[in-house]
């Protein structure tokens, strides 16, 4: 039995599926649930991720079931809603997602999707009641629906480019920098001669998803990418590579070398690319040195976010920026085996240094452990600002929920992302430099 949660930052499965579907051009989610589910998603997720409002409104189709449907079943209401959605809302693919109420009532969703397909409408479905799991679970369910159902509905005409790599595990909005991060990862892959399949974000559409089976490799960037990679390995025998954290700074070089090795790419080309990128980043490091020492950037930090963010950003700050990892909090609730692996990796992030590692999504637990660590700067979601204010230390909002920043294309991944992170972190330090004396 799970514990209650204060200010949970991992909303429900329905919202997770919406995150994914809304991030693909041409996919129209059709919610079969009570009317408020889509508004909850808009208020509690979309509005809190810094400028990610796809439609200029909450989700554009919802069956809004009422008492009558709870008593007598809502199948006919869904049939009507689906029929009219196809007429009204432009889309290449309609994805039925369900809420708790219609699942408890027992509406036959596969049958409704089948009826739609009999009309030659491109319809997929996934059962996503909120009681089934959190936003990460919903991400999995939506991926599964796309991977399993799409090939039967739409036949791909386009030729699949050689050297195609699918990228998995970056969840829209749960990583507020998802668009930028995917684009930077794509740029890195292109740099060594691969063709990235970003799947989500600007310009990514149903056709991108139709190319999934033809990829050379699946690259997954967080523990949440393992599931689709496994699914694809079973179906299409596509091999995969895992990179547990968003690769920030020189971690990108490690990833590029692994890819080069694994896919037998031209090592000279890869090394040339890495050299160019690293030397640019090193120059940026050097230009920052005066501010770094003068304003006392080197200090203990607390970092709160999803596992891929904490690993990627945490390791970068420790391995390249001289900072001291006081408290690391992972909020995305990964499975126990992953927690064990992450725990030993993060406890020793700076060998010999005492780092507190906590897995929690409960605000009171998180704030207690961050407060107890007395860090010199806090990096986390906007919820952690109150602790920073309380401790009088600088603060940088970078994880979900993000309600005091706008993020459109900014990335913290890769070499360019590392520079952006240094800009934001440095700016926060300077803005809070009146606290230096207490903090250092």
Q: Which of residues 32-91 bind other proteins (CB under 8 A)?
A: 33-45, 47-48, 53, 55-67, 69-70, 80-81, 84-85, 87-90
Q: How far is the CB of 127 from other proteins (least distance, A)?
A: 11
List 99, 122, 373, 417, residue binding other proteins (CB under 8 A): 99
CB of 219 to other proteins, least distance (A): 29
CB nearer to other proteins: give 207 or 288: 207
The single residue among 22, 107, 134, 226 that binds other proteins, judged by CB under 8 A, is 134
- # residues contacting other proteins (CB under 8 A): 73
Which is closer to other proteins, CB of 42 or CB of 178?
42
Asked whether 24 and 202 are in contact (CB, 8 A), the reply is: no
Torsion of the alpha carbons at 86, 89, 90 and 91, rounded to the nearest 10: -60
Q: Please pick, from the candidates 20, 31, 192, 358, the single residue that binds other proteins as defined by CB under 8 A.
A: 31
Choose which of 129, 180, 247, 312 interacts with other proteins (CB under 8 A).
129
Using CB under 8 A as the binding rule, the residues of this chain from 343 to 382 that contact other proteins are 364, 382
Rounded alpha-carbon distances, angstroms, from residue 45 to 13, 53, 208, 407: 12, 10, 25, 14
The span from the CA of 201 to the CA of 180, in Å, is 9
263 near 192, Cβ under 8 Å? no
411: Cβ contacts below 8 Å, ≥ 6 apart: 177, 179, 180, 181, 183, 184, 417, 420
Provide the 3-class DSSP secondary structure of residue 49: strand
Compare residues 61 and 327 and give the one whose CB is closer to other proteins: 61
| 194 lines the binding site for other proteins (CB under 8 A) | no
Contact flags string 393-432 toward other proteins, x per CB under 8 A: --------x-x-----------------------------
Instruction: Tell me how far, at minimum, the Cβ of 12 lies from other proteins, in Å.
Output: 3
Judge whether 228 and 143 are in contact, CB under 8 Å: yes
Q: CB-wise, 271 or 368, nearer to other proteins?
A: 368
Strand, helix or coil for residue 51: coil
Cβ-based nearer residue to other proteins, 91 or 245: 91
Collapse the DSSP code of 386 into the 3-class scheme (helix H, G, I; strand E, B; otherwise coil) and give the result.
helix
300-329 residues near other proteins, rule: CB under 8 A:
none
- Pairing of the two strands 324-330 and 377-381: unpaired
User: In this complex, which beta carbon is closest to other proteins, that of residue 42 or of residue 220?
Assistant: 42
Element (H, E) at 399: strand 395-399
82/274 with CB nearer other proteins = 82
Picking from 223, 246, 175, the residue whose alpha carbon sits closest to that of residue 338 is 223
Q: Which of 101, 126, 197, 218 binds other proteins (CB under 8 A)?
A: 101
Residue 316: name the closest of 415, 427, 392 by CA: 415
């Amino acid at each position: 039995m799970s514990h209650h949660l204060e200010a949970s930052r991992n909303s429900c499965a329905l919202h997770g599926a919406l995150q994914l579907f809304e991030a693909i051009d041409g996919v129209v989610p059709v919610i079969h649930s009570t009317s408020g589910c889509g508004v909850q998603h808009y208020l509690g997720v979309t509005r809190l991720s810094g400028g990610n409002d796809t439609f200029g409104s909450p989700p554009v189709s919802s069956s809004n079931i009422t008492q009558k449907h709870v008593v007598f079943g809502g199948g006919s209401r869904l049939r009507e809603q689906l029929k009219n959605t196809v007429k009204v809302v432009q889309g290449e693919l309609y994805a039925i997602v369900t809420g708790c109420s219609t699942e408890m009532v027992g509406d036959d969703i596969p049958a409704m999707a089948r009826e739609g397909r009999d009309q030659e409408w491109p319809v997929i479905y996934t059962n996503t009641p909120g009681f089934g799991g959190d936003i990460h679970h919903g991400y999995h369910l939506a991926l599964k629906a796309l991977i399993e159902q799409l090939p039967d509905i739409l036949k791909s005409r386009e030729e699949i480019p050689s050297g195609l790599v699918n990228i998995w595990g970056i969840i829209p909005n749960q990583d507020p920098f998802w668009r930028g991060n995917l684009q930077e990862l794509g740029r890195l892959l292109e740099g060594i001669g691969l063709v990235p399949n970003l799947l989500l974000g600007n310009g990514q559409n149903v056709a991108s998803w139709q190319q999934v089976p033809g990829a050379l490799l699946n690259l997954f960037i967080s523990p949440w990418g393992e599931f689709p990679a496994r699914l694809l390995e079973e179906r299409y025998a596509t091999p995969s590579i895992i990179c547990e954290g968003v690769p920030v700074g020189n971690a990108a070089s490690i990833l590029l070398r692994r890819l080069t090795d694994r896919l037998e790419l031209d090592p000279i080309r890869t090394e040339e690319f890495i050299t160019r990128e690293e030397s640019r980043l090193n120059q940026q490091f050097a230009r920052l040195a005066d501010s770094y020492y003068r304003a006392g950037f080197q200090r203990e930090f607390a970092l709160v976010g999803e596992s891929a963010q904490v690993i990627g950003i945490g390791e970068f700050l420790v391995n390249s920026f001289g900072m001291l990892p006081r408290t690391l909090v992972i909020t995305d609730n990964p499975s126990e085996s992953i927690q064990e692996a992450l725990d030993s990796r993060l406890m020793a992030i700076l060998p010999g240094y005492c780092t507190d590692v906590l897995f929690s999504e409960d605000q009171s637990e998180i704030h207690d452990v961050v407060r107890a660590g007395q860090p010199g700067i806090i990096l986390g979601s906007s919820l952690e600002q109150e602790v920073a204010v309380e401790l009088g230390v600088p603060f940088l909002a970078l994880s979900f929920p993000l309600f005091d920043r706008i993020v459109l294309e900014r990335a913290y991944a890769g070499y360019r992302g590392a520079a952006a992170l240094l800009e934001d972190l440095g700016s926060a330090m300077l803005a809070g430099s009146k606290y230096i004396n207490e903090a250092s």
